[in-house]
Chains A and B, each alone.
Chain A
Amino acid sequence: MLKLFSLFLLVTGGSFAQSPLLGLLSEELHRNFQVLSRKADPPAYYIAYAVTDQETANVSATLGVITGNDRRKMRVLDVTVRVGTPALDNYHTIRGEMGHFTAGIPIALDDSPDAIKLKLWSETDRCYRLAAQRLINIRTNKEVRVADKEDSHDFSREQPEKFAAEAPRLLFDDAAWAARMRKLSAPFAKYPSILNSGLAVTAQREVKYLVNTEGTRVSHGQPFSRVTIQAQAKASDGMDLATFDAFTAADPANLPKDAEIAAAVDKVASDLNQLLDAPLVDPFVGPAILSGRAAGVFFHEIFGHRVEGHRLKDESDGQTFAKSVGSPVLPEFISVTFDPTLRQAAGEDLNGFYAFDDEGVKARRVTLVDGGILKTFLMSRTPVPGFESSNGHGRRQPGAEVVARQSNLLVESTKQVPEARLKEMLLEEIKRQNKPYGFYFQEITGGFTNTGRRGIQAFKVIPLVVYRVYADGKQELVRGADIVGTPLASFNKIIATGQKLEVFNGYCGAESGNVPVSAVSPSILVSELEVQKKESSRDRPPLLSPPVISTGASK
């Protein structure tokens, strides 16, 4: 019978072939859990080991010379120990804090049993101690403070998962990329006003392993690569200016060819050069179009962060949407979905793709807003009043504790018009509101959001390339604009969207560190957007003129 069993496994092959690391993690997990669940006081009811294995290659260059060229390999361990019960455990939020136990410690790069087990054991002990201590504090707190208005549990019930697949090997030709980076970064030398500039390419292979005491055993991974182009300058009045562009592809072989990158370098450089002479904005409220990429960031900041489930549990959070499920939160022609199972959109690879989240829950498409109505929240295994289960959005950077985070944000619209018509509608709106002009935000670099109760419930998106659009249709590049606003007000002001989808790939930084995300959106027309003057340094540009530049390495 035993023989048949092993044959059976071989035949079905890809469904679950265990990696040696998963085996080691499992063995040590169960050895520790045996004791901690029975002999420890308080006993542990759940333990999980997560290992993130990353191999990265980087090449960066400026003005025709290499500034960096390295490869790094690392494996990081995160341990989760839960004591108490799923209803009340050591991760319970008190006074706005969820507790931080894991440390993201480096472990052996090869599957060496002694080295790995010793680290797993000592980390488990350390995390268990902290968990036990915090549980005692929580129990005291529970007795003393007013009972939470709507108690929900601290840990959800989920299906165990079994899956094994690894990312393909990292194929990256350092020398070839170095030659390309030198060549492609050199043209910035033609612009003496550009103070700093650079190109960088990163290729990464990441594999994640997770085992837990519920029986989950998964290993999954994806490759990632990116080329970034950046440039900075200083206007004569001291304002710092920057332009940026990036290309993302899962496989470095699919990154653009030289011609396309060179064209982007050219645009980054000439946009920046023009910005130096562009007029400054004045504070303004009025109609604006945000390009697809700009709109994506807009939605990520003003909407995405407010639907991360755990914020609704925390009394120090503004809980903007806590009571809005079932009510309209966006115009009725807009729907918003988060889909980590989507690898591509609008012809581009998406940064927020994953097969399993960082708690081993299977990734899935989640409709957040349907025809303007809020349906649910992004959930990790931390339940929220009214929402008892995870929807596969528990994520973290190694070393941080998991919270609900965004993945691939997709904006869909049933009120789409061709781009040319959208511009016409902007002009119509400018005239209707009797404004001298409106705005067109072409390129942005991300932003940040404050969702806490203490500060103003506001957001800020940081534009890079912005045009003033006059009632007669003429466009003028301007500098110094920041978009600000409060989320509830801004949402209702979306009038219509374009048809063409654009992709913004980036990283989102929040409580559980940096995670890769994307936002896919058509351009949007907003009837009212508030523009504020950017903070500016009063530092002068350099006093001496640039020294002689000779491009190309000379030895």
Chain B
Amino acid sequence: MRGLVLLIAGALALGAQNNAATEKEQGPILRALAEELDRSRTLQLAGVETPYFIEYSLDDLHGFAAVASHGAIISSNATRLRLPRVQVRVGDYGFDNTNYIFSDFFGRIGGARLPLEDDYGVLRHHYWLLTDRAFKGAVEAIARKRSALRNVTVTEEVNDYAKAKPEALVQDLRPISMREGTWTSLARELSALFCHYPALTGSQVEVESSFSNTYYLNTEGTRVRYPDDLFTVRIRAGAQAPDGMPVRDSMGVHARTPGAIPPQPALERLVRELASNLTSLLTAPAGEDYSGPVLVEEAASPQLFAQLIGANLGLTRKPVAEPGRTPPVPSSELEGRMGARILPDWMDIVDDPTQGEYRGHQLLGYFPIDLEGVVPRPLTVIEKGSVKNFLLTRQPVRGFEGSNGRARLPGAFGAKAPVFSNLFVKARETKSAQELKKNLLDMVTQRGKPYGLIIRKLDFPTMATPDELRRLSAASGQRGGATRLTATPMLVFRVYPDGKEELVRGMRFRGLNVRSLRDIIAASDTDNIFDFIGNGSPLPPAGVAGYVSGHTVVAPSVLFEDLELDRIEEDWPKLPVVPAPALASCK
């Protein structure tokens, strides 16, 4: 009897909010989760605490990855996982158990896995136990938070959770066709091309396909289910230059549908391009310290905007901490600078997750609804060069309350992290690419410099190891630059007054940050498009795993009046005593 009553109660609640899909179309997962969610409202502890908000998520993943090197498969594995997340909030929207340093610690359910088959009863059983743990953790966290607040003064009152209207977005499940054999062959064949570039002693091709059904439900009545797929072909290679310096590069080709991955001949061209650039880099001369005009073209321009603007569009909030133990929380360089002019007034930047395609190129940052069930709309973040909007989640931050649907990654202290989607950098005043180059050369001559610099690619996402990043950051801090890292320029060309170009290696930016954008004096009339996978970090690693977000940046080439770069000075590792083995095959 009891089961039956619950079923009806659940159906009624759903019926009120969701007219899009009938209960039958929703399937056992939505049904089981909705019913357990509903029952969980009755949780109570200490006669006082009951949940005012509960949310359930589920990522239902079918994944496959093949890794190959020099024509041989290193691994080729399918993964089938269902990852649940449960969050319980006690207290109220004004004050709850989140935004406290131990919010994540209590009631954590890390590593939980769900059964792979759709059994209504078993699904409810698992969410029952997860919710129980999350609720008890929430009660403990709010008690400790109240006690911590007795000993610290909080400078301002900000609510803990913003209200949002319930949404219903239940999309149909699409069929999944893994095509393991095809992807494996692709990885093997692309990797075999490196036999033509024997100077590159390390190389690898990774082909990954991930079909994911994302579910989200909360006690406000939101019901979400949509497909969130990602396909990647990633190429990496490296070697040591004659002076010992490690030279590496990577390239990622991404898509949200398998059909949008370029056909094999196009991918082969990309492999050859990467391989020959790297081979040229190995023998290129080391660059010298430079201060002067710099033209940022091709991938380098969107990569730059991803770091300097994209990574600074989310505001963070300091959690309530124990006295004397304030954790360092990374903050945006644009914090507190609403309305400040950071770019020329003929530039605007828009974040638009509603677009799926731009000029025939599939956009990676598209998403229909965020992790908190809020539907996003296009947002002008920079208008006439000035800061207009920040990316917001349901977590209120100083000066802002109310989500604009940008919660795309799990965050810290019970909140979600806002990150950009498709970033469109627009210039209302433009010049042709040739004019830009001519401007550069004119400035070079004017200032009596022997050459100018053109940068075409940055190491973003980065191939650097965590050790190398630490060294880079420390070195940057020592020279008076920001310790906040920006990606190393990979393809840097000296351009001489006669127009001739020469590739150099081993350079890095000095003091590059948001303020540098004020030195942009011109932009091209061309679009450079760059896709990448991020994890919320301003400098994500290439091939990052875990919870990720897709991004596309569209930006014109830009001319900087003044940028500083210097030569990387380090003790490079010695070259191997034993020469590399001779390669046997090359088809």
Contacts of B124 in A (CB 8 A): 547-549
Contacts of A548 in B (CB 8 A): 2-3, 6, 121, 124
Contacts of B155 in A (CB 8 A): none
Q: Mark A64-90, 1 if CB is under 8 A from B, else 0.
A: 111111111111000000000000000
- The answer to whether A552 has its CB under 8 Å from any CB of chain B is yes
- The answer to whether A236 has its CB under 8 Å from any CB of chain B is no
* Nearest neighbor of A117 in chain B, beta-carbon distance: B581
Q: Mark A517-555, 1 if CB is under 8 A from B, else 0.
A: 000000000000000000000011011101111111111
Which residues of B from 40 to 78 have beta carbons under 8 Å from A? 40, 42-45, 67, 69-78
* Nearest neighbor of B131 in chain A, beta-carbon distance: A544
Check A108–B72 contact: CB distance below 8 A. yes
* Chain A CB within 10 Å, residue with most, of B76, B129, B195, B581: B581
Check A67–B36 contact: CB distance below 8 A. no
> Of the candidates B28, B44, B136, B583, which one forms a contact with A539 in the assembled complex, judged by CB atoms under 8 Å apart?
B136
* Chain B CB within 10 Å, residue with most, of A40, A125, A539, A540: A125
Give min CB distance, A127 to chain B, whole Å: 11
Provide the bound-state CA to CA distance between A522 and B135, in Å.
Answer: 47
Give min CB distance, A351 to chain B, whole Å: 25
- The answer to whether B576 has its CB under 8 Å from any CB of chain A is yes
- The answer to whether B578 has its CB under 8 Å from any CB of chain A is yes
Contacts of B578 in A (CB 8 A): 31-32, 35-36, 121, 124-125
Give min CB distance, B112 to chain A, whole Å: 11
- The answer to whether B277 has its CB under 8 Å from any CB of chain A is no
Contacts of B6 in A (CB 8 A): 547-548
Contacts of B118 in A (CB 8 A): 553-555
Check B581–A550 contact: CB distance below 8 A. no
Provide the bound-state CA to CA distance between A254 and B74, in Å.
Answer: 32
Contacts of B583 in A (CB 8 A): 114, 118
Which residues of A from 187 to 205 have beta carbons under 8 Å from B? 189, 195-196
- The answer to whether A122 has its CB under 8 Å from any CB of chain B is yes
Contacts of A109 in B (CB 8 A): 72-76
- The answer to whether B79 has its CB under 8 Å from any CB of chain A is yes
Check A112–B71 contact: CB distance below 8 A. yes
Which residues of B from 121 to 149 have beta carbons under 8 Å from A? 121-122, 124-125, 128-129, 132, 135-136
Contacts of B69 in A (CB 8 A): 108, 115, 118-119
Q: Mark B8-36, 1 if CB is under 8 A from A, else 0.
A: 00000000000000000000100000011
- The answer to whether A467 has its CB under 8 Å from any CB of chain B is no
Which residues of A from 94 to 136 have beta carbons under 8 Å from B? 106-110, 112-122, 124-125, 128-129
Check B581–A544 contact: CB distance below 8 A. no
Which residues of B from 316 to 369 have beta carbons under 8 Å from A? none
- The answer to whether B151 has its CB under 8 Å from any CB of chain A is no
Contacts of B42 in A (CB 8 A): 544
Give min CB distance, A423 to chain B, whole Å: 40
Check A547–B584 contact: CB distance below 8 A. no
- The answer to whether A63 has its CB under 8 Å from any CB of chain B is yes
- The answer to whether A449 has its CB under 8 Å from any CB of chain B is no
Contacts of B80 in A (CB 8 A): 68-70
> Of the candidates A32, A112, A547, A550, which one forms a contact with B70 in the assembled complex, judged by CB atoms under 8 Å apart?
A112
Provide the bound-state CA to CA distance between A554 and B121, in Å.
Answer: 9
How large, as a class, is the contact surface on chain A? 35 or more
Q: Mark B83-122, 1 if CB is under 8 A from A, else 0.
A: 0000000000000000000000000000001111111111
> Of the candidates A40, A63, A544, which one forms a contact with B40 in the assembled complex, judged by CB atoms under 8 Å apart?
A544
- The answer to whether B577 has its CB under 8 Å from any CB of chain A is yes
- The answer to whether B573 has its CB under 8 Å from any CB of chain A is yes
* Nearest neighbor of B578 in chain A, beta-carbon distance: A35
- The answer to whether A39 has its CB under 8 Å from any CB of chain B is yes
Check A67–B113 contact: CB distance below 8 A. yes
- The answer to whether A166 has its CB under 8 Å from any CB of chain B is no
Give min CB distance, B241 to chain A, whole Å: 16
Check B136–A540 contact: CB distance below 8 A. yes
* Chain B CB within 10 Å, residue with most, of A66, A72, A74, A553: A553
Give min CB distance, B3 to chain A, whole Å: 4
Provide the bound-state CA to CA distance between A553 and B116, in Å.
Answer: 10
Contacts of A117 in B (CB 8 A): 581
Contacts of A552 in B (CB 8 A): 119
- The answer to whether B585 has its CB under 8 Å from any CB of chain A is yes
> Of the candidates B3, B202, B584, which one forms a contact with A114 in the assembled complex, judged by CB atoms under 8 Å apart?
B584
Contacts of B76 in A (CB 8 A): 73, 109
Contacts of A108 in B (CB 8 A): 69-70, 72-74
- The answer to whether B201 has its CB under 8 Å from any CB of chain A is yes
Contacts of A544 in B (CB 8 A): 39-40, 42-43, 128, 132
Contacts of B154 in A (CB 8 A): none
- The answer to whether A28 has its CB under 8 Å from any CB of chain B is yes
Which residues of A from 208 to 265 have beta carbons under 8 Å from B? none
- The answer to whether B580 has its CB under 8 Å from any CB of chain A is yes
Given known pairs A109-B74, A113-B585, the reply for A65 and B122 (CB within 8 Å) is yes
Provide the bound-state CA to CA distance between A119 and B79, in Å.
Answer: 26
Check B116–A547 contact: CB distance below 8 A. no
* Nearest neighbor of A547 in chain B, beta-carbon distance: B124
Which residues of B from 563 to 587 have beta carbons under 8 Å from A? 573-574, 576-581, 583-585
Check B128–A118 contact: CB distance below 8 A. no
Check A68–B116 contact: CB distance below 8 A. yes
Contacts of A391 in B (CB 8 A): none
* Nearest neighbor of B203 in chain A, beta-carbon distance: A118
Provide the bound-state CA to CA distance between A456 and B116, in Å.
Answer: 45
Give min CB distance, A176 to chain B, whole Å: 17
- The answer to whether A62 has its CB under 8 Å from any CB of chain B is yes
Provide the bound-state CA to CA distance between A121 and B198, in Å.
Answer: 14
Q: Mark A320-362, 1 if CB is under 8 A from B, else 0.
A: 0000000000000000000000000000000000000000000
Give min CB distance, B454 to chain A, whole Å: 33
> Of the candidates B67, B74, B115, B121, which one forms a contact with A66 in the assembled complex, judged by CB atoms under 8 Å apart?
B115
Contacts of A547 in B (CB 8 A): 6, 35-36, 39, 121, 124-125, 128
Given known pairs A36-B578, A73-B75, A544-B43, the reply for A555 and B116 (CB within 8 Å) is no
Contacts of B119 in A (CB 8 A): 63-65, 550-554
> Of the candidates A63, A69, A114, A115, which one forms a contact with B122 in the assembled complex, judged by CB atoms under 8 Å apart?
A63
Provide the bound-state CA to CA distance between A73 and B2, in Å.
Answer: 48
Check A554–B28 contact: CB distance below 8 A. yes
* Nearest neighbor of A182 in chain B, beta-carbon distance: B117
Check B78–A115 contact: CB distance below 8 A. no
Give min CB distance, A189 to chain B, whole Å: 8
Provide the bound-state CA to CA distance between A192 and B135, in Å.
Answer: 21
Provide the bound-state CA to CA distance between A108 and B77, in Å.
Answer: 14
Check B577–A125 contact: CB distance below 8 A. yes
* Chain B CB within 10 Å, residue with most, of A72, A114, A121, A546: A114
* Chain A CB within 10 Å, residue with most, of B71, B72, B128, B202: B72
Contacts of A113 in B (CB 8 A): 584-585
Provide the bound-state CA to CA distance between A529 and B451, in Å.
Answer: 83
Provide the bound-state CA to CA distance between A2 and B119, in Å.
Answer: 67
* Nearest neighbor of B573 in chain A, beta-carbon distance: A129
* Nearest neighbor of A550 in chain B, beta-carbon distance: B121
Contacts of B28 in A (CB 8 A): 554-555
Provide the bound-state CA to CA distance between A396 and B506, in Å.
Answer: 41
Which residues of A from 144 to 200 have beta carbons under 8 Å from B? 189, 195-196
Check B201–A118 contact: CB distance below 8 A. yes
Check B576–A62 contact: CB distance below 8 A. no
* Inter-chain pairs besides A114-B71, A549-B124, A554-B118, 14 sampled, C-beta below 8 Å: A35-B577, A67-B113, A108-B70, A117-B581, A118-B202, A118-B580, A118-B583, A121-B581, A122-B576, A540-B136, A542-B129, A548-B6, A550-B120, A550-B121
Q: Which 8 A-B pairs have the closest CB atoms?
A: A112-B72, A108-B72, A115-B72, A550-B121, A547-B124, A125-B576, A548-B3, A115-B70
Can you report 25 residue pairs joining A to B where beta carbons are below 8 Å apart? Answer: A28-B581, A35-B578, A36-B577, A66-B116, A67-B113, A69-B80, A70-B80, A107-B74, A108-B69, A109-B74, A114-B71, A118-B70, A120-B581, A122-B201, A122-B576, A125-B578, A542-B132, A543-B43, A543-B135, A547-B6, A548-B2, A549-B122, A549-B124, A550-B119, A554-B118
